[in-house]
Amino acid sequence: MDLTFREYKQSDFSTLVEMVLGLYTKDGTKATQMSAEKIALSIEPLISPSNPSEIIIFEANGETIGYCILNRFWSNEYSGWIGYVDELFIQPNHRSSGIGEQFFMYLEQNSKYKFVAFMLETVKNNPKATRFYQRIGFELHHNLMLFKQLQNQ
C-alpha cells in the first residue's frame, strides 16, 4: 500500500466533510451536532499560516482514507511542543491495518514537528481505540482534563 500524509487542500473539502461527519456519528446517531457549515468555519483558522495547527490528509494508493486535525502548543512542564490530536479518523475499511501507527511514526520522525509528547482524547466507550493508543505507547496521564464550554458571543 502506498500510504502518504499531506496537508489539506481546498479540493479535499467534500471528502473531509464526509469523514468528519463519520467521526461524529456513532451507530447511525450523531454524537455531537456537526455540520458542513461548522466544518467550513473551522478550516480557515486551522490552515492559516499564523496558526500552529493543521489538517493532515491520509491517502492510500491515491485514495483519501483519513484525516487528522493536529494542534501544537508549548508545554513548560515538558519543555517543548506538544502535538494535540484533536481529531483522527480512518475510514472503517482501512482500520486495523497499521495506518494509525504509521501516522504517529511519521509525526515522530518528521523534523518539521519536533514534538516532545502527544496528547489526545478518546471516548470512554471505545475500548478498541484505547487499546490501540496504549499499544503504541500512550498512557493515561496523571492529570485530569477538565473542560468548560463558553457561550458563543
- The mean-pLDDT minimum among 22-26, 54-58, 88-92 falls in 22-26
Check whether 32 has a pLDDT greater than 80: no
Residue 65 has a pLDDT of: 98
For 40-64, what is the mean pLDDT? 94
Sheet of 115-120, strands arranged across = 3-7, 54-60, 63-75, 80-90, 115-120
Check whether 22 has a pLDDT greater than 70: yes
d(CA 66, CA 99): 9
Residue 56 has a pLDDT of: 98
Model confidence at 30, pLDDT cuts 50, 70, 90, reads low
* CATH code assigned to 3-135: 3.40.630.30
Mean pLDDT of the chain: 91
pTM of the model: 0.91
